Amino acid sequence: MSGPVLESVLTCTHCGHVKRESMPTDACQYFYECESCQCVLRPKPGDCCVFCSFGSVNCPPVQAQKSCRG
Ligand SMILES: [Zn+2]
């Protein structure tokens, strides 16, 4: 049984900048500031965190089939 993926590649919706980020296993990241254009990304409606909306993989709690929001 493999553990959750802890790295996600986030893509900025404003400038298209791509950055690999590590994800916390016990919390969701709701805001993400693009290092290229300094815009702040927020999750799409229905998504719990920026990784679920813009990342290449979902956040660890979702990978474990639990809701981030409890
Ligand atoms: Zn950007």
66 CA → ligand 1 middle, Å: 29
pLDDT of 40: 97
- In DSSP terms, 22 is beta-bridged to 7
pLDDT of 28: 81
| CA 55 – CA 12 distance, rounded (Å) | 9
Compare 42 and 25 and report the one with higher pLDDT: 42
Spatial contact of 8 and 21, defined as CB atoms under 8 Å apart: yes
Spatial contact of 34 and 57, defined as CB atoms under 8 Å apart: no
Place of tokens 């965190």: 49
Percent of the chain with pLDDT over 70: 91
Residue 12 has pLDDT above 90, yes or no: yes
Q: How do residues 37-66 score in pLDDT, each as one tens digit?
A: 999 999 999 999 999 999 999 999 888 876
4 CA → ligand 1 middle, Å: 27
Handedness of CA 46, 51, 1, 69 (dihedral sign): negative
Q: What is the mean predicted confidence (pLDDT) over 27-46?
A: 94
